[in-house]
Structure 1
Amino acid sequence: MIIVILILAVILFIYFNVIPGKGHTLVSWISLIITLLCVLGIVEHDYNHWGLKTETQTSTQNLTSSVNPNLPILLYQSLGNGTEKVYLYKTNNNQKKPKAIKLDKVSTKVKQGKEASLKIRTTRYVYKDNFSRIMFSAFSHNNELKHREYIFTLPSNWKVISTKDMQKLQKQMQEKMQSQKAASLH
Protein backbone atom coordinates (compact mmCIF):
# COMPACT_ATOMS: atom_id res chain seq x y z
CA MET A 1 0.00 0.00 0.00
CA ILE A 2 2.85 2.38 0.76
CA ILE A 3 4.11 1.91 -2.80
CA VAL A 4 0.69 2.91 -4.19
CA ILE A 5 0.67 6.02 -1.98
CA LEU A 6 4.22 6.83 -3.09
CA ILE A 7 3.32 6.56 -6.80
CA LEU A 8 0.20 8.68 -6.36
CA ALA A 9 2.13 11.35 -4.41
CA VAL A 10 4.84 11.49 -7.10
CA ILE A 11 2.23 11.80 -9.85
CA LEU A 12 0.44 14.59 -7.95
CA PHE A 13 3.73 16.39 -7.30
CA ILE A 14 4.68 16.28 -10.99
CA TYR A 15 1.18 17.20 -12.19
CA PHE A 16 0.76 20.20 -9.90
CA ASN A 17 4.28 21.48 -10.68
CA VAL A 18 3.79 21.30 -14.45
CA ILE A 19 0.29 22.82 -14.64
CA PRO A 20 0.14 26.31 -13.12
CA GLY A 21 -2.94 27.31 -11.15
CA LYS A 22 -4.29 28.67 -7.91
CA GLY A 23 -3.51 26.46 -4.93
CA HIS A 24 -1.29 24.15 -6.95
CA THR A 25 1.79 25.14 -4.98
CA LEU A 26 0.22 24.00 -1.71
CA VAL A 27 -0.88 20.64 -3.18
CA SER A 28 2.56 20.25 -4.76
CA TRP A 29 4.30 20.75 -1.40
CA ILE A 30 1.92 18.38 0.38
CA SER A 31 2.50 15.68 -2.24
CA LEU A 32 6.27 16.22 -1.97
CA ILE A 33 6.11 15.77 1.82
CA ILE A 34 4.01 12.60 1.41
CA THR A 35 6.55 11.30 -1.16
CA LEU A 36 9.44 11.91 1.22
CA LEU A 37 7.58 10.30 4.13
CA CYS A 38 6.81 7.22 2.01
CA VAL A 39 10.46 6.88 0.96
CA LEU A 40 11.57 7.32 4.58
CA GLY A 41 9.02 4.72 5.72
CA ILE A 42 10.20 2.20 3.11
CA VAL A 43 13.86 2.72 4.04
CA GLU A 44 13.14 2.45 7.79
CA HIS A 45 11.07 -0.68 7.24
CA ASP A 46 13.76 -2.31 5.16
CA TYR A 47 16.78 -1.45 7.33
CA ASN A 48 15.38 -1.08 10.85
CA HIS A 49 12.25 -3.26 10.59
CA TRP A 50 9.92 -0.35 11.29
CA GLY A 51 6.37 -1.62 11.76
CA LEU A 52 7.61 -5.01 12.94
CA LYS A 53 8.16 -6.54 16.36
CA THR A 54 10.12 -9.61 17.39
CA GLU A 55 8.47 -12.84 18.45
CA THR A 56 10.41 -15.70 20.01
CA GLN A 57 9.47 -19.37 19.93
CA THR A 58 11.27 -21.98 21.99
CA SER A 59 11.20 -25.75 21.55
CA THR A 60 12.97 -28.36 23.64
CA GLN A 61 13.78 -31.88 22.46
CA ASN A 62 15.58 -34.84 24.00
CA LEU A 63 18.88 -35.80 22.39
CA THR A 64 20.22 -39.22 21.57
CA SER A 65 23.72 -40.00 20.44
CA SER A 66 24.65 -38.82 16.95
CA VAL A 67 26.41 -42.13 16.33
CA ASN A 68 25.24 -45.08 18.43
CA PRO A 69 22.87 -45.29 21.43
CA ASN A 70 25.67 -46.95 23.42
CA LEU A 71 28.19 -44.16 22.69
CA PRO A 72 26.97 -40.78 24.02
CA ILE A 73 28.47 -38.52 21.36
CA LEU A 74 27.47 -35.22 19.76
CA LEU A 75 29.11 -34.74 16.36
CA TYR A 76 30.10 -31.51 14.67
CA GLN A 77 31.55 -30.59 11.30
CA SER A 78 34.06 -27.72 11.22
CA LEU A 79 33.59 -24.98 8.65
CA GLY A 80 36.24 -22.72 7.20
CA ASN A 81 39.09 -22.17 9.64
CA GLY A 82 37.38 -24.30 12.31
CA THR A 83 35.82 -21.53 14.38
CA GLU A 84 32.35 -22.27 13.01
CA LYS A 85 30.80 -25.64 13.75
CA VAL A 86 27.80 -27.39 12.27
CA TYR A 87 26.42 -29.70 14.95
CA LEU A 88 24.84 -32.99 13.85
CA TYR A 89 22.21 -34.29 16.24
CA LYS A 90 19.51 -36.92 16.63
CA THR A 91 16.32 -36.50 18.63
CA ASN A 92 15.43 -40.21 18.68
CA ASN A 93 17.13 -43.54 18.03
CA ASN A 94 14.95 -44.29 14.98
CA GLN A 95 16.56 -41.48 12.98
CA LYS A 96 18.82 -42.92 10.29
CA LYS A 97 21.03 -39.84 9.81
CA PRO A 98 21.68 -36.98 12.21
CA LYS A 99 20.15 -33.58 11.43
CA ALA A 100 22.42 -30.60 10.91
CA ILE A 101 21.71 -27.27 12.55
CA LYS A 102 20.54 -24.52 10.22
CA LEU A 103 23.28 -22.00 9.54
CA ASP A 104 21.33 -18.84 8.74
CA LYS A 105 21.68 -16.22 11.54
CA VAL A 106 22.61 -18.84 14.14
CA SER A 107 24.47 -19.16 17.41
CA THR A 108 25.19 -22.33 19.36
CA LYS A 109 26.05 -23.17 22.95
CA VAL A 110 27.07 -26.46 24.51
CA LYS A 111 26.63 -26.63 28.27
CA GLN A 112 26.65 -29.25 31.02
CA GLY A 113 23.42 -30.56 32.51
CA LYS A 114 21.69 -33.62 33.90
CA GLU A 115 19.92 -34.82 30.74
CA ALA A 116 20.83 -34.60 27.08
CA SER A 117 18.53 -32.07 25.46
CA LEU A 118 18.39 -29.47 22.74
CA LYS A 119 16.63 -26.12 23.11
CA ILE A 120 16.01 -24.20 19.90
CA ARG A 121 15.08 -20.55 20.37
CA THR A 122 13.90 -18.87 17.15
CA THR A 123 13.28 -15.12 16.95
CA ARG A 124 11.33 -13.75 13.97
CA TYR A 125 10.02 -10.38 12.85
CA VAL A 126 6.21 -10.10 12.67
CA TYR A 127 3.91 -7.14 11.99
CA LYS A 128 3.09 -4.97 15.02
CA ASP A 129 -0.48 -4.29 13.92
CA ASN A 130 -2.88 -4.36 10.97
CA PHE A 131 -1.81 -0.89 9.82
CA SER A 132 1.78 -2.09 9.40
CA ARG A 133 0.55 -5.25 7.66
CA ILE A 134 -1.47 -3.19 5.17
CA MET A 135 1.27 -0.63 4.54
CA PHE A 136 4.26 -2.98 4.19
CA SER A 137 2.82 -6.30 2.99
CA ALA A 138 4.49 -5.87 -0.43
CA PHE A 139 7.96 -6.30 1.13
CA SER A 140 7.39 -9.80 2.59
CA HIS A 141 9.26 -9.20 5.85
CA ASN A 142 6.61 -10.92 7.98
CA ASN A 143 8.04 -14.00 9.73
CA GLU A 144 11.57 -13.07 8.61
CA LEU A 145 14.20 -14.81 10.70
CA LYS A 146 16.11 -12.53 13.07
CA HIS A 147 18.11 -15.11 15.02
CA ARG A 148 18.15 -18.82 15.85
CA GLU A 149 19.94 -20.19 18.92
CA TYR A 150 20.76 -23.85 19.56
CA ILE A 151 21.52 -24.74 23.18
CA PHE A 152 22.84 -28.28 23.62
CA THR A 153 22.70 -29.51 27.23
CA LEU A 154 24.87 -32.59 27.72
CA PRO A 155 25.61 -34.78 30.77
CA SER A 156 29.22 -35.15 31.83
CA ASN A 157 29.54 -38.61 30.20
CA TRP A 158 28.83 -37.18 26.71
CA LYS A 159 31.65 -36.22 24.32
CA VAL A 160 31.61 -33.60 21.57
CA ILE A 161 33.68 -34.92 18.64
CA SER A 162 34.32 -33.69 15.12
CA THR A 163 33.33 -35.89 12.21
CA LYS A 164 37.00 -36.16 11.16
CA ASP A 165 37.99 -37.43 14.61
CA MET A 166 35.05 -39.87 14.54
CA GLN A 167 36.21 -41.26 11.19
CA LYS A 168 39.72 -41.74 12.58
CA LEU A 169 38.27 -43.44 15.65
CA GLN A 170 36.16 -45.78 13.52
CA LYS A 171 39.18 -46.63 11.39
CA GLN A 172 41.25 -47.43 14.51
CA MET A 173 38.41 -49.60 15.87
CA GLN A 174 38.21 -51.55 12.59
CA GLU A 175 41.98 -52.09 12.56
CA LYS A 176 41.90 -53.24 16.16
CA MET A 177 39.05 -55.68 15.48
CA GLN A 178 40.86 -57.06 12.43
CA SER A 179 44.06 -57.55 14.43
CA GLN A 180 42.09 -59.32 17.19
CA LYS A 181 40.44 -61.61 14.62
CA ALA A 182 43.82 -62.39 13.09
CA ALA A 183 45.29 -63.12 16.53
CA SER A 184 42.41 -65.41 17.46
CA LEU A 185 42.80 -67.40 14.22
CA HIS A 186 46.46 -68.21 14.97
Structure 2
Amino acid sequence: MPHDPRPRFRLNPLLAALFAVIAVVALFLTGVAAQQLGSGEPVAAAEPTRTAPTTRPAQPGLGDKVRDGKFEFVVSRLDCSRATVGPEHLTRTAEGRYCVISLSVRNISDAARYFLGQAQKAYDATGTAYGDDTIAGVYANRDTQTFLEKLDPGERVTGKLVFDVPRTVKLTTLELHDSPLSGGVQVALTRA
Protein backbone atom coordinates (compact mmCIF):
# COMPACT_ATOMS: atom_id res chain seq x y z
CA MET A 1 0.00 0.00 0.00
CA PRO A 2 1.36 3.35 -0.91
CA HIS A 3 2.17 5.81 1.85
CA ASP A 4 0.05 8.99 1.91
CA PRO A 5 2.50 11.92 2.07
CA ARG A 6 -0.03 14.30 3.55
CA PRO A 7 0.20 14.74 7.29
CA ARG A 8 -2.80 13.65 9.24
CA PHE A 9 -4.57 16.17 11.41
CA ARG A 10 -5.38 14.92 14.86
CA LEU A 11 -7.79 16.81 17.08
CA ASN A 12 -6.85 17.10 20.72
CA PRO A 13 -9.44 15.14 22.73
CA LEU A 14 -9.98 18.02 25.23
CA LEU A 15 -10.50 20.50 22.43
CA ALA A 16 -12.97 18.14 20.76
CA ALA A 17 -14.96 17.84 24.00
CA LEU A 18 -15.07 21.63 24.38
CA PHE A 19 -16.40 22.07 20.84
CA ALA A 20 -19.03 19.42 21.53
CA VAL A 21 -20.25 21.20 24.69
CA ILE A 22 -20.43 24.55 22.87
CA ALA A 23 -22.39 22.95 20.02
CA VAL A 24 -24.88 21.33 22.43
CA VAL A 25 -25.43 24.63 24.30
CA ALA A 26 -25.89 26.53 21.02
CA LEU A 27 -28.43 23.94 19.77
CA PHE A 28 -30.28 24.09 23.07
CA LEU A 29 -30.50 27.91 22.97
CA THR A 30 -31.55 27.83 19.32
CA GLY A 31 -34.29 25.31 20.18
CA VAL A 32 -35.58 27.43 23.07
CA ALA A 33 -35.66 30.52 20.88
CA ALA A 34 -37.44 28.64 18.08
CA GLN A 35 -39.99 27.26 20.53
CA GLN A 36 -40.67 30.74 21.95
CA LEU A 37 -41.07 32.32 18.53
CA GLY A 38 -42.79 29.41 16.79
CA SER A 39 -45.29 28.45 19.47
CA GLY A 40 -47.92 30.82 18.17
CA GLU A 41 -48.21 32.38 21.56
CA PRO A 42 -47.25 35.99 21.83
CA VAL A 43 -43.93 36.56 23.40
CA ALA A 44 -44.27 38.88 26.35
CA ALA A 45 -42.55 42.16 25.74
CA ALA A 46 -40.22 43.31 28.40
CA GLU A 47 -41.86 45.66 30.85
CA PRO A 48 -40.73 49.21 30.22
CA THR A 49 -38.54 50.49 32.97
CA ARG A 50 -40.30 53.19 34.87
CA THR A 51 -38.21 55.87 36.45
CA ALA A 52 -39.41 58.55 38.76
CA PRO A 53 -39.71 61.89 37.04
CA THR A 54 -36.67 63.98 37.64
CA THR A 55 -37.57 66.82 39.88
CA ARG A 56 -35.23 69.50 40.98
CA PRO A 57 -34.95 69.71 44.70
CA ALA A 58 -36.86 72.65 46.06
CA GLN A 59 -34.76 75.75 46.51
CA PRO A 60 -34.22 76.53 50.20
CA GLY A 61 -36.48 79.29 51.47
CA LEU A 62 -37.34 81.33 54.52
CA GLY A 63 -36.46 79.46 57.71
CA ASP A 64 -34.15 76.92 56.02
CA LYS A 65 -30.53 76.50 57.06
CA VAL A 66 -28.07 76.97 54.20
CA ARG A 67 -24.28 77.06 54.09
CA ASP A 68 -21.64 78.74 52.02
CA GLY A 69 -18.02 78.31 52.96
CA LYS A 70 -17.53 79.04 56.65
CA PHE A 71 -21.00 80.45 57.40
CA GLU A 72 -24.41 78.95 58.04
CA PHE A 73 -27.36 81.24 57.25
CA VAL A 74 -31.07 81.27 58.07
CA VAL A 75 -33.17 83.91 56.31
CA SER A 76 -36.23 84.64 58.44
CA ARG A 77 -38.05 87.62 56.95
CA LEU A 78 -38.39 89.96 53.97
CA ASP A 79 -39.92 93.42 54.45
CA CYS A 80 -40.11 95.70 51.40
CA SER A 81 -42.40 98.32 52.93
CA ARG A 82 -39.81 100.90 54.03
CA ALA A 83 -38.79 104.17 52.43
CA THR A 84 -36.31 105.00 55.21
CA VAL A 85 -34.16 103.18 57.75
CA GLY A 86 -32.38 104.36 60.86
CA PRO A 87 -33.18 106.37 63.97
CA GLU A 88 -34.88 109.75 63.82
CA HIS A 89 -31.77 111.90 63.32
CA LEU A 90 -29.81 109.39 61.25
CA THR A 91 -32.32 108.26 58.66
CA ARG A 92 -31.39 107.11 55.19
CA THR A 93 -33.95 107.42 52.43
CA ALA A 94 -34.26 104.93 49.56
CA GLU A 95 -34.16 106.00 45.93
CA GLY A 96 -36.93 103.44 45.35
CA ARG A 97 -37.85 101.43 48.41
CA TYR A 98 -35.89 99.43 50.94
CA CYS A 99 -36.19 95.68 51.13
CA VAL A 100 -34.90 94.65 54.54
CA ILE A 101 -33.99 90.99 54.89
CA SER A 102 -33.64 89.59 58.42
CA LEU A 103 -31.26 86.67 58.85
CA SER A 104 -28.97 84.88 61.24
CA VAL A 105 -25.36 84.06 60.49
CA ARG A 106 -23.32 81.42 62.32
CA ASN A 107 -19.57 81.00 61.99
CA ILE A 108 -18.98 77.27 61.42
CA SER A 109 -15.20 77.59 61.04
CA ASP A 110 -12.48 77.35 63.68
CA ALA A 111 -11.34 80.99 63.32
CA ALA A 112 -12.97 84.40 63.78
CA ARG A 113 -14.45 85.77 60.52
CA TYR A 114 -16.21 88.88 59.26
CA PHE A 115 -19.63 88.70 57.62
CA LEU A 116 -19.63 91.19 54.74
CA GLY A 117 -22.97 92.65 53.70
CA GLN A 118 -21.53 93.96 50.44
CA ALA A 119 -20.79 90.37 49.33
CA GLN A 120 -24.53 89.54 49.32
CA LYS A 121 -26.85 89.94 46.32
CA ALA A 122 -30.61 89.96 45.86
CA TYR A 123 -32.34 89.12 42.56
CA ASP A 124 -35.72 89.83 41.04
CA ALA A 125 -37.67 87.45 38.76
CA THR A 126 -35.84 88.73 35.65
CA GLY A 127 -32.44 87.91 37.17
CA THR A 128 -31.45 91.52 37.81
CA ALA A 129 -29.01 91.70 40.73
CA TYR A 130 -29.15 94.30 43.51
CA GLY A 131 -26.29 95.01 45.90
CA ASP A 132 -26.50 95.61 49.62
CA ASP A 133 -26.78 99.27 50.73
CA THR A 134 -23.99 99.21 53.31
CA ILE A 135 -24.80 102.55 54.98
CA ALA A 136 -28.49 101.67 55.27
CA GLY A 137 -27.36 98.31 56.66
CA VAL A 138 -25.33 100.08 59.39
CA TYR A 139 -28.43 102.08 60.37
CA ALA A 140 -30.68 99.00 60.31
CA ASN A 141 -28.20 97.04 62.46
CA ARG A 142 -27.51 99.74 65.04
CA ASP A 143 -28.80 97.46 67.84
CA THR A 144 -26.81 94.46 66.59
CA GLN A 145 -23.22 95.47 67.16
CA THR A 146 -21.78 91.96 66.77
CA PHE A 147 -23.25 91.68 63.25
CA LEU A 148 -20.74 94.36 62.21
CA GLU A 149 -17.76 92.76 64.01
CA LYS A 150 -15.84 89.52 63.69
CA LEU A 151 -17.79 86.41 64.56
CA ASP A 152 -16.00 83.94 66.82
CA PRO A 153 -16.11 80.22 65.97
CA GLY A 154 -19.60 78.86 66.67
CA GLU A 155 -21.05 82.34 67.29
CA ARG A 156 -24.49 83.09 65.82
CA VAL A 157 -25.80 86.61 65.36
CA THR A 158 -28.88 88.08 63.76
CA GLY A 159 -29.00 91.15 61.59
CA LYS A 160 -30.45 92.78 58.53
CA LEU A 161 -29.39 93.22 54.93
CA VAL A 162 -30.84 96.28 53.19
CA PHE A 163 -31.40 96.55 49.44
CA ASP A 164 -32.56 99.74 47.69
CA VAL A 165 -34.73 98.55 44.78
CA PRO A 166 -37.14 100.30 42.37
CA ARG A 167 -40.69 100.53 43.71
CA THR A 168 -42.07 98.04 41.17
CA VAL A 169 -39.41 95.36 41.76
CA LYS A 170 -40.24 92.21 43.69
CA LEU A 171 -37.20 90.38 45.05
CA THR A 172 -37.35 86.60 44.57
CA THR A 173 -33.92 85.26 45.54
CA LEU A 174 -31.14 86.12 47.96
CA GLU A 175 -27.62 84.89 47.21
CA LEU A 176 -25.48 84.58 50.34
CA HIS A 177 -21.68 84.40 50.40
CA ASP A 178 -19.11 83.83 53.12
CA SER A 179 -16.74 86.08 51.12
CA PRO A 180 -16.91 88.09 47.88
CA LEU A 181 -15.20 85.23 45.99
CA SER A 182 -17.20 82.26 47.30
CA GLY A 183 -19.66 80.27 45.17
CA GLY A 184 -22.69 81.40 47.18
CA VAL A 185 -25.96 79.75 48.09
CA GLN A 186 -29.41 80.88 46.97
CA VAL A 187 -32.49 81.23 49.14
CA ALA A 188 -36.00 81.77 47.72
CA LEU A 189 -37.67 84.86 49.15
CA THR A 190 -41.11 83.91 47.80
CA ARG A 191 -43.17 80.79 48.19
CA ALA A 192 -43.87 78.71 45.07
Please indicate the TM-score interval, normalised by the length of the shorter structure.
Answer: under 0.3
The normalised TM-score by structure 2 is 0.21
- Which structure shows the higher helix fraction? 1
Bigger CA radius of gyration: 2
Give the TM-score of the pair, scaled to structure 1.
0.22
